[in-house]
Amino acid sequence: MSGFDKPMTTGEFNEALQKLGVSVYASAGVLGISLRQAQRYSSGEESVPWRTTNHLRVLLFNVDGLKKQRKRLLKQIRPLQSGTSRFYNGGKDATAAVLNENRRQLAECEHLLTNHPAGIKPGLD
């Protein structure tokens, strides 16, 4: 069974909400369920159905990818900013262009991690 086939426990549900920076109250809007239903899942009163489980796991996968991309971009930007690394394309110094593109991508990642279209705010850590 892959991770997307296993049911989500109450603890995993609450942990997923925490990782996504969403309260139980806000999770209702994010997951397209009622507040009372989110409370039932959070308290263990009802088991988390596979649709909600998969929705949360896809959001977690997306956030994890954004955080990894942010980390990779920061690692690439540091030496370019400090001048310890240069980037050449066709014999021409393209460091400034590469640095600008990396900064643009970093800003996009950080925007999604602090203001995701799904209504989550997982943060930059």
Considering the chain, what percentage of its residues have pLDDT values greater than 90?
A: 89
Write out pLDDT tens, residues 28-73. 999 999 999 999 999 999 999 999 999 999 999 999 999 999 999 9
Q: Which of 62, 65, 64, 66 is nearest to 30 (CA)?
A: 62
How confident is residue 6, by pLDDT bands cut at 50, 70 and 90?
confident
Q: pTM for this one? A: 0.85
